[in-house]
Amino acid sequence: MDQLTKYQNRVFKVLNEQEFIIENRERKIIQKGTTNGRRYFFMVAKRLEKGKIIERFVKIPKNNTKKILLPFQRQIEIANYLKANKVIRTREVVVANYDPKKGVPFAIMETFPIDHSKIGFIEGNKEAQLLGSREAKQVVDQLFKFHSISIESLSPSLRKILKVYPGDYKGFRRQVFRYLNRKVRTLDGKGEVEIFHKVLERRLPIIDVKNKAKEILTHLEPLIDTKSNHATSIVHGDVSPNNLYVFDSGEVELLDFEWVGIFQNKAIAMIRDFGNLRARSWNNKKFRNALDEELVKKYRSQGQENLGRAIVQLSILRSHIHLSGAFENYELVKQEIPLQIRRKKLTEQDIVEAFQ
């Protein structure tokens, strides 16, 4: 039996056991969803539940490898914790299994009111461009609530499966310089190997990028590497526009908790999550500016405006340099795609803001 057949059999097994209604529409989705190269199959479908037909979201891992099942378990357990403790708004896990000894792993969750949300799931660039100041405020509020989770409030089993991120300032500095020293093959360099900070100096109005970055990191260290920031902090780990759901009320729900982990510095934890979202919102300058304003405003309300401004600056420095450099190592044929050229250019342009 080939791998595709095994994968599709897994999906049909779960759907049948969990009493989903499978018709031509669902069969077409299954065919497409198991051949797209993703780690999970997922879809919205109807199932029989307590005598009623209910629409649910179902997610099924492609295989039982630890690489896939550990993040899958993490997502389920974090979602259950958030729901039980009412930390932030999140979808309820109706039923799930992440232990392959008990059968094919799966998760069945509440669905969203797709037909009643102008933005809803942000699946592409068009939806991301609809985000504005209202959504920026909501996202920042949600991030602060999420980061406020006390590690002691988590069960030992949940703490055990959290991803551990390097959270000290020295490690953060090393990461930034690793991104700057990355070897890349750029389109405008005709595929020749270059060091990324030299590419930035060629394209941006910044001279001696590495030394200037060192100056910024040294200057902001007293605000970040403090005793009050040396505390274990929960981090989402993968915040991006397509991991948000936006209601018409402007409320925002965080999605996808696969990479939730801990940092030993709560300021660096915020740099990670805030920076990821900011850099990945490459096609919406208004939203990025609103995010900056809302984060600073939030810290100002706590008497920590300078810390807020430092986090914004370092978020740009880390995440925009990281993503920009990653784009440069795409295959040249992919780099030539107009959308990728625009994405790279806009992500890169904001790096200048970190040096001002």
State whether 285 and 151 are in the same domain.
Answer: yes
- Cβ density class 314-352: b for 16+ within 10 Å, e for less: bbbbbbbbbbbbebbebeeeebeeeeeeebbebbbebbe
pLDDT at 116: 57
* 312 and 242 in a common domain: yes
- Indicate if 244 and 316 belong to the same structural domain: yes
Assess whether 140 and 187 both reside in one domain.
yes
Distances (CA, A) of 64 to 97, 103, 126, 201, 258: 12, 10, 35, 45, 15
Residue 186, classed as helix, strand or coil, is: coil
User: Is the overall model pTM greater than 0.85, yes or no?
Assistant: yes
Q: How confident is the model at residue 112 (pLDDT cuts 50, 70, 90)?
A: confident
Q: Average pLDDT in the 107-124 region? A: 76
Q: Are residue 164 and residue 107 in the same domain, yes or no? A: no
- Same domain? 133 vs 225: yes
State the residue range of the domain holding 349: 120-354
Task: Note the pLDDT tens digit of each residue in 32-56.
Answer: 999 988 999 999 999 999 899 999 9
Number of domains in the chain: 2
Instruction: Give me the mean pLDDT over the 125-137 stretch.
Output: 90
pLDDT at res. 190 = 82
- The 10s digit of each residue's pLDDT in 134-152 is 999 999 999 999 999 999 9
pLDDT digits (tens, 9 = 90+) for 184-216: 999 888 889 999 999 999 999 999 999 999 999
Q: Residue 119 has what pLDDT?
A: 66
β-pair type (120-121, 244-246) = antiparallel
Based on the fold, state whether residues 303 and 182 are members of the same structural domain. Answer: yes
CATH number at residue 69: 3.30.200.20
**48 and 132 in a common domain:** no
DSSP 195-247: EHHHHHHHHSS-SSHHHHHHHHHHHHHHHHS-TTT-S-EEE-S---GGGEEE-
Q: Is 213 exposed, middle or buried (0-12, 13-18, 19+ CB in 10 A)?
A: buried
Last-in-domain residue among 80, 111, 142: 111
CATH number of the domain that 257 lies in? 3.90.1200
Rg over alpha carbons for the chain, rounded to the nearest Å, is 22
Q: What's the pLDDT score for residue 114? A: 61
- Say whether both 131 and 40 belong to one domain: no
Query: 236 near 275, Cβ under 8 Å?
Result: no
Domain boundary among 84, 111, 138: 111
CA distance 74 to 79: 8
Q: 169 and 305: one domain? A: yes
Please check whether residues 47 and 146 belong to one and the same domain. Answer: no
**Residue 94 φ/ψ region, left for φ over 0, alpha for ψ in the -120 to 50 degree band, beta for the rest:** alpha
pLDDT in tens, 173-183: 999 999 999 99
